[in-house]
Every structure is written in structure tokens, then in C-alpha cells.
Amino acid sequence: MVGKVFLVGAGPGDAKLITVKGWESIGKADAVVYDRLASPRLLKQMKPGAVKIYVGKRPDRHTMKQEEINQLLVDLALEGKVVVRLKGGDPTIFGRVGEEADLLHKNGVPFEIVPGVTAAISVPAYAGIPVTHRDYASSISIITGHESPDKLDRSIHWDKVTNATGTLVFMMGVAKIGYISEQLIRHGRPAQTPVALVRWGTRAEQDTLVGTLENIEAKVIAANFQPPAVIVVGEVVNQREQLKWAEVLPLFGKRILVTRARSQASELVNRIEELGGEPYEFPVIETVMPSSETAKQSVKDAFRALNTFDWVFFTSVNGVEFFFRHLEEQGKDIRAIHQARVAAVGPSTADALRKHGVIAEVVKGPFQQEGMLEAFESELKEGQKVLLPHGDLARSWLPDQLKERGLEVTEAIIYDTVLAGEDDDELLKLLEEGGIHAVTFTSSSTVTNFMEMLKRMGLQDPLPLLKHVEVACIGPVTAKTAEAAGLKVTLMAAEATIESMISALCEWKRTPSPEGAMPR
């Protein structure tokens, strides 16, 4: 049975600029053939067992020839696979999709072309440059610049192109910027015509260089401005100073590693994106139902006596979610703890309880075990029964303190925290190149598992790669674990909440701290 090939435009770099149809195609693919212009976050959408095949340029080998890529798509489809060919931007704009589709057609392989957001318009937009404007340009030309001068002269009719439209957009032409400028001036564009080069637009590395046709080459050389970049020529470039928006966002230019479990990462990821940063998800923990017989028995014993507790202390969102999962499994509902006072360690945990119809008493002090005891110590009485539902890695500090005060403590291990994640070559590459600017840790287990994952991926000593990465921790307990692992904690949330961590990241971006200082 012959499979099918989806020729998908991945957009310019920002993972969310892919179309819904493109996103769905990745999720059902058996194999994804991609190059480095595609956002690595898109590959996280692949289903388990799907194969990733990289065909872009690497320093250690030549780029796979286009003819080889074409044949690869045919071969995979003839094996019965659903294949996604993931391309940066739009596959029909200098994406050579016609060649790939032609060979698929000749071999009887069904295919679909899924358009993408082209870099020709989106990258300038992220730099505050609309490619058309009522007062300055009512038309646009998109031109390849990725050719030698003699090929450019054969493919571009300079006498017609130069003044054919108000805005000219050259794709991939940084190395030829001097020749392009020279030809445009020679064929009638004023030497003072504004020019902008936007490098790695929509990504954390986005950088913009502005000049005129007569001086842009000198500026490119002086700044050592490297490809890939989109070149915009025309009066619309002058709109940039009024319309640039991405670069003024609080976290613009920062790629931030999120190590939290995928099921819990969305809040942090979304906030980073809203504030102009680029989140890179690398979940290193996963929470699962308890596996040991001891833990399972502790749950059974605790839930059998739910109606006898005076207090139930929830110290995490995970504790809430798994508590209700166990409650449902055992055919019970919240009425089973009707006589207990329910306390939550912080606003996130309280919100999780509220979603289940429970209004908890919330700790106002430190959002950790110490805060729980501080908040309710005056009301805890000797002989009272306390239920502590928690994970297998929870600290023993709170139950020990309660027992010392004469309370009867029942601990229920309602979930396990396990090592998660796949090896990620792209992450290693980004770390080596300095492409990760900060890493966030929301629990001690994220620290421990992150370091273990890096070692599993071949780094015997991960610390040198993390030397220049800001380490952000959600609280002092997590920070202590990070420091014990050899990491230098430079950012710490004032409160143990995601929003507080985001505030610390924004403050770091605004005013980088002197070496050794820790913003709080």
C-alpha cells in the first residue's frame, strides 16, 4: 500500500506561525523530513515511533542533494508511510516543491501541498516593516538572491524588476548584497533608497540592520552580518521606527529552556511567548500513578479512612490532580473528607482544588512546606489526624514537624515522578552555540533529571555547557538542589509561582545582574 506525502510550509521560525493543517500533518506522520529552518519545537508534535530525517546542511557533511531528497520522499511513501516534508516558510516560494511534487506524481505517490507563512512577508513584519503601505508601496516583488552574480543576471531582468513594484524583497541574498545594490542603483533606484536586512526573523536570534542602497554593503561587512536574512528594499523600511513591536517585548531575543513536565508546561511556555521570548520545551519529568506495592497500599489505607481526618494538606498541583484521580478510581467523591479542613500551599494549588469544587485555605507565606506549618501552627492540636497526599520524592520535613507536635500523620504516595524525555540533538547544538539563554527549574526533580538527561545524551560533564546560561529557580529548595548539582543560580522567583518566575526573567532581561548577583 502506497503512503502519502504532505509538503508542508513550516513558517519562518516561530513555531506558532505554522498553519493548523501543517501542525495536524506533523502529528499523523510516520516520518518527517526536515531542514534546520524548521522550528525544532514543531518536531515535538510527532507521534511516538515516528522517524525524524534531517536533510539540511551540517558542518560535518554536505547538504543532501535535492534529487536525493526527492527520491527519499518517494521511497518512504512506497513503504506505506505517511510522510511530511517540512520546509521553512512556504514550500512554493523558492522551496523547490515543484521538483519534489513532480517526482511523487511520476511515481504514483499521492501528495498534498500545505502552504506556509512565507518569510518574505512575516520576517519584515516582525521587524516592524509592512511590505506594502497605502502611502509608500502598493505592490511587492519577491526575488531570489541566493545565486552567483552571473546567475542573478540570467534569472533577474534588472531593468524591469528594479522599478516594477514599490517594495522589493530578496530572499537569501546577504552574500550578494553589494551586487544587488549596485544593480538596483544602476537601473534607476535612488542611492538613498532605504534597505533593511532581517536575520533569523521571528526567532530569538532576530537581528535587523538598516541602511541605504549606497551604504548597506559597508554596514553588512562592518557588522559581520551573516545569513540567513530577508532583504527589504523600499520606502516601507522607514516605517520600522514607528511600527517595530517584537523587539520592545520584555523577553525579546531570549530563548528559554522549559524543563517542566509537558502536562504542566503550558502556562510557563505561553507566558514566555506572550512576552516575546522563545520557549524551548525539554520536559525531563513525568508524573505517573504509583508503581510500588508500598505506595499503592498507602493510598488504599488513606482513602479507606478519609472521613476520619481533621486536615488535608495539599502541597502541589500534582498532589491535587492525582488525589482526585485516585478518588474516582475508588468510587468516592469529595464528600468523603467533609469534616476535614483543606489547606493549599499556594495559589496554583488552590486554583487546582477550586476546579474540583473545593475552596481551600491558602498559605499566605512561603509557598512550600515551611509556609504550610507557619500558616496553621497555632491551630494544629495534638492528636489531630492529618492526611498528606504527595509524590514519591516529597521532602519529609513537614510530616516530621507535624509528628513532633503530636499530630497523627498519614502519608499517601499518590504519584511517582519519573525521568522523561527523548535525546535531543538540537538542544545540545543550541547549548554548544550559546543559543539557550536561560533554563527554568520548577522543582528539585527537574534539576536532577535535567542533569541526568544531559549525561544520558553523552555529556559526561554538562556544567561547562551551562556556564553562560542563566539558571532560574522557582524557590529556595529548588535553588539548593541546583547549587548542589554544581549550577550557579542567578535568578530566583520572589514567590514560588510561575508568574513570579516570569517577573524574575523580565527583570533579568531589563537589567542584567552583575556576576554573582541573584535577582529576587
User: Strand (E) positions, 174-228?
Assistant: 194-199, 207-212
Which residues, 6 or more positions from 515, have their beta carbon under 8 angstroms from its beta carbon?
Answer: none
The C-alpha cell of 62 is what? 554536505
- Contacts by 211-220, CB closer than 8 A, 24 or more apart: 213/181, 213/184, 213/185, 213/189, 214/181, 214/185, 216/177, 216/181, 217/177, 217/178, 217/181, 220/174, 220/177
Determine how many CB atoms are found less than 10 A away from the CB of residue 268.
Answer: 23
The C-alpha cell of 140 is what? 511587492
Task: Write the DSSP symbol of residue 294.
Answer: H
Per the annotation, the verdict on 35 as an active-site residue is: yes
Per the annotation, the verdict on 457 as an active-site residue is: no
Per the annotation, the verdict on 244 as an active-site residue is: no
Alpha-carbon distance of 489 to 471, in angstroms, equals: 5
3-state secondary structure of 49: coil
Determine how many CB atoms are found less than 10 A away from the CB of residue 400.
Answer: 11
Q: Within 13 Å and on the Cβ side, how many CA atoms surround 265? A: 21
Candidates 47, 57, 151, 364; catalytic one: 57
3-state secondary structure of 68: helix
Candidates 64, 172, 457, 518; catalytic one: 172
Best CA proximity match to 228, nearest among 141, 161, 144: 144
Candidates 21, 28, 35, 351; catalytic one: 35
User: Strand (E) positions, 122-201?
Assistant: 140-144, 167-171, 194-199
Task: Write the DSSP symbol of residue 360.
Answer: -
Task: Write the DSSP symbol of residue 161.
Answer: H
Best CA proximity match to 128, nearest among 76, 40, 202: 202
Which residues, 6 or more positions from 397, have their beta carbon under 8 angstroms from its beta carbon?
Answer: 369, 370
Query: Quick check: 341 and 311 in contact, CB under 8 A?
Result: yes
Helix (H) or strand (E) holding 351: helix 347-355
Beta bridge partners of 168: 141, 233
Taking only Cα atoms into account, the Rg of the chain, rounded to an integer number of angstroms, comes to 28
Longest dimension (CA), the chain: 93
The residues annotated with a catalytic role in the active site are 35, 57, 172
